[in-house]
Copies of this chain bind each other. A is one copy, B any other.
């Protein structure tokens, strides 16, 4: 069966809340996942939306809801001082790792999410992207070279364009056998969809 396709931006708060729980659901239902970081800024240009925490009225509620939901799920969470951030280096590093070892790429992805929303530090620079790779056991200088590869840069751009073409307008956005689900709120529906084969 096709893997569940998980589109997200590393700066998205609800993608952070969804990532590890999606893995648990997929494992319980015997399904694989593929992670596809994209640059949500490019998506927002299509929809006219902006980062949640900056929106009038929705922003203050969003912060409260994010922290409250994280407490419920038992995930460490804070509102980073810098919000959002441009997750270019870490997204490229992800695809470079993913090309040879998808499991390691997911471990890297979890570390990136936790660095930002757990520690409150935006891993925006190449140095930070590399040091997170080292923290999950990946060679730093190889990762640094990987981030700079033209093929890797093109991959992130292509994935973002493909996502827009498939109707992805926010994160997390998950396809289950072609069925689109948007939002961390939809994980329970995804679980039910996998159990019943749709409804």
> Is A46 among interface residues, defined by CB-CB distance under 8 A?
yes
One of A27-35, A64-72, A94-102, A140-148 at the interface: A64-72
Q: Are B188 and A188 in contact (CB under 8 A)?
A: yes
Q: Are B167 and A71 in contact (CB under 8 A)?
A: no
A: interface residue count bin: 20 to 34
**Footprint of B on A, CB under 8 Å?**
46-49, 55-58, 60-61, 64-65, 68-69, 71-72, 167, 169-170, 180-183, 185-186, 188-189, 192, 199
- Chain B residue contacts of A199, Cβ below 8 A: 68, 71-72
Could you list 21 examples of A-B contacts with CB < 8 Å? Answer: A46-B57, A47-B56, A48-B56, A56-B169, A57-B167, A57-B169, A58-B169, A58-B170, A61-B167, A61-B169, A61-B180, A64-B180, A65-B181, A65-B186, A68-B189, A68-B199, A69-B189, A72-B199, A183-B185, A185-B186, A188-B188
> CA–CA, A72 to B48, complex, Å?
30
9 closest A-B pairs by CB? A185-B185, A57-B169, A47-B57, A47-B56, A58-B169, A71-B199, A57-B167, A61-B182, A72-B199
- Chain B residue contacts of A57, Cβ below 8 A: 46-47, 167, 169
Q: Are A189 and B47 in contact (CB under 8 A)?
A: no
Q: Are B167 and A72 in contact (CB under 8 A)?
A: no
Instruction: Name the residue on B nearest A69 (C-beta).
Output: B189
Chain B proximity of A130: nearest CB distance (Å): 34
Q: Are A72 and B189 in contact (CB under 8 A)?
A: yes
Contact (A72, B180) CB under 8 Å given A56-B47, A56-B48, A58-B47: no
- Chain B residue contacts of A71, Cβ below 8 A: 199
Most chain B CB within a 10 A radius of its CB, from A47, A169, A180, A189: A169
Contact partner of A167 (CB less than 8 A), chosen from B60, B181, B188, is B60
> CA–CA, A192 to B169, complex, Å?
30
